[in-house]
Structures are given as C-alpha cells and as structure tokens.
Amino acid sequence: MTTIADELTIERRGHQGSAARRRTNFVIFLGPAIILTVLFFVVPVIIDITVSFTDLSRSLRISEFTTEQYEKVFRTDRRLSQVIGLTFIYVFGTLAIFNVTFGLILAITTTAIRNVSGSFFRGVWLLPRMSPSVLYILLWLWAVSPTEAGLVNQVLMQAFGLDAPLDLLTSAPIALIIISNGFIGASMGMIIFTAAIRGIPEHLFHAAAVDGAGTFATIRFITLPALRWPISFVTIYQTLSLLVSFEYILLLTKGGPFYDTTVYALYVYRRAFESGQYGYGAALALFLIVIGVIVALIGWRFFDMERLLQRPRIEVH
C-alpha cells in the first residue's frame, strides 16, 4: 500500500511540475508579446473609441460626450464617398498590377536566369525599399517634375519630340501614386514568390521538360499551383497594408491636387491633424479598423487560409 501511495504522490508531483513548467514557458515566451499587443493595439483602439465619442478639437478640451462625429460620417461629410472610391481604385490598382502580378513576373524572370544575375537584379530592385521614404519620393519628384529638367519630360521631349513638358502631378496624379507605391510593393512579392519558386522540387521541372512542356506550360501547371499560398498571403497582407499606408502619397502629392489623391487613411490624418478635428478623425479611424477586419475575414475565407495554418498531422513530443 505504501509503495502505491508513493507512486501516486510521485505521479501527482510530476503533473504539478509539468503544469508549472507550461505556465512558466507561457509567461516567458508569450508574456512579452501579450504585453506589447495590449500596449500598442488594444489600448490605442480603446482610446480611439473613447475619443470618437467626444468633441475633442484643436483646443484639446472635451466639453461633452456625443455621437455627433458618427452622424457627421453618415450624413454630412459629402467628400467621404469620393475618398472611399479613390481608396478602392488605389488599393485594387496597386495590388493587382504591381504587388501581385508584377512581383510574380519579377520572381519568375529572375529565377529563370543565372543565379548571380537574378540575385543582382533582385538586390537592385530592393534598394528603394531599403532607402528612406523621403529620398525615394525626392527621386520621383525629380522624375515627374513639370519642367524640362524632369527625367520623364527629358525623355519625352528628346526621344519623342514632345513640344512642352507634361505636368503629371496635375494631369495623372492617381496613376502616379499607384506606380510610385507599386514599385516599392512589388519587391515584397518578388522576394516571397522567389523563395517559393526555389522551394519547388527540381525533378518536377525536369519531368515537364521530358514531357515536352514549354515555358508557359511549365509556369501554368507547375509554378503557379505551387505559389497558391504565397499569392494568397501577399494579397491579404498587401491589401491591409495599402489600406492604412499613406506616407508616400503625402510626400509626393500631399493628397492633392485638392483631394484628388487623398485616400482614406490620409483623409483621417488630414481631418485629425491638419483640421484639428480629433474626435471626427477618431471616428473615421474606427471605421478604418472595421474595414480592415472585414477585408481580412473575407480574404481569410476566400483564400481558405485555414488550410494553410492547419495543425500538422505528425505530432512531435
């Protein structure tokens, strides 16, 4: 009886020790992440919701708690529909043309040539992403300068005989912000797609070559199916990133001319920090959070991302 009791005691202590070890591991490995998430995500959202129900303005005084800011969003702000439409064009255009399609073309092209040449080209393409945003936009401002000194106008006037310089900042501002953001965004897709292509087993390409498959058939039946998950991830991630980013637009066009390139995130910034309507800006920012959550859920469901993150079938203890 004594031996059985001792074994039960040892087993109970083992379970208690295992539970204590799990709690310790939880605190050590997840504790910092939980604290940072609360500080930088949860607390700001709570502050934003609180401010959105006030009349906080440039005077930094709260005189009452009100729903006036939300009434303004739904009823009186006539410019908001234009801003939302422009945001859709900006996000869809940048994502479809550059972040996914052009990034995919760059990855396929640079992995099809010699490794040294491909690596050099990818390194050069990554330079703008590694450079300060201000420097990148300064180069764009020089390139599209509406004078004869601008790079684009020099090419058009000397190579194509254009009579007068073009002012692309005024005549095509939306195309300009899509292209300038797209050149940066394509580099991320290029790196992720390149890594995925490198991970495709070589024997599949050799088997396709033996079967007589051409370049496009190999891309269609081997490369693209293997890139399903990277394409899904880049699409969702870059959509959310484009929804909230506006620094390149602010530096390049300042949202103008007038509000022609003011996307939703920049509109929130201009309302809150240029007009001093902090309460209204907080209400607009709250809708941006809601839009981001809805887009993420739709993307999660549409691309069936749960299969990508499914639990491994082999348990390792």
- CATH number of the domain enclosing 209: 1.10.3720.10
Spatial distance between the Cα atoms of 86 and 216, rounded to a whole number of angstroms: 35
Res 231: pLDDT: 92
More confident residue, 310 or 9: 9
- If one counts every other C-beta atom within 10 angstroms of the C-beta of residue 164, the result is 10
Residue where the block lists tokens 């502050």: 47
For residues 211-224, average pLDDT: 88
* pLDDT band at residue 312 under the 50/70/90 scheme: low
Q: Is residue 268 part of a domain?
A: no
Distances (CA, A) of 275 to 56, 81, 267, 271: 12, 19, 10, 5
Q: Is residue 215 part of a domain?
A: yes
For residue range 57-111, what is the model confidence (pLDDT) as tens digits? 888 888 888 888 898 888 888 889 999 999 999 999 999 999 999 999 999 999 9
* pLDDT band at residue 163 under the 50/70/90 scheme: confident
Residue 307 has pLDDT above 80, yes or no: no
Spatial distance between the Cα atoms of 210 and 259, rounded to a whole number of angstroms: 57
Q: Is residue 178 part of a domain?
A: yes
Res 83: pLDDT: 93
Residue 311 has pLDDT above 90, yes or no: no
The percentage of residues in the chain with a pLDDT greater than 90, rounded to a whole number, is 41
Residue 44 has pLDDT above 70, yes or no: yes
More confident residue, 93 or 160: 93
Q: Is residue 158 part of a domain?
A: yes
201 is in which domain, residue-wise? Answer: 92-263
More confident residue, 279 or 2: 279
Cα Rg of the chain, angstroms: 27
Residue 313 has pLDDT above 70, yes or no: no
Written as six digits, the tokens of 225 are 């199916």
Q: Is residue 176 part of a domain?
A: yes
Residue where the block lists tokens 């941006």: 288
Q: Is residue 107 part of a domain?
A: yes
Residue 11 has pLDDT above 80, yes or no: no
- If one counts every other C-beta atom within 10 angstroms of the C-beta of residue 86, the result is 20
Res 87: pLDDT: 94
Residue 162 DSSP one-character state: -
> How many domains, in total, are found in the chain?
1
For residue range 169-180, what is the model confidence (pLDDT) as tens digits? 888 999 999 999
Res 310: pLDDT: 66
Res 63: pLDDT: 86
Res 60: pLDDT: 84
Q: Is residue 247 part of a domain?
A: yes
Q: Is residue 17 part of a domain?
A: no
More confident residue, 316 or 140: 140
Average model confidence (pLDDT) for the chain?
Answer: 88
Which residue type occupies 139? Answer: L
Distances (CA, A) of 270 to 41, 120, 130, 202, 255: 22, 40, 27, 52, 9
Res 42: pLDDT: 92
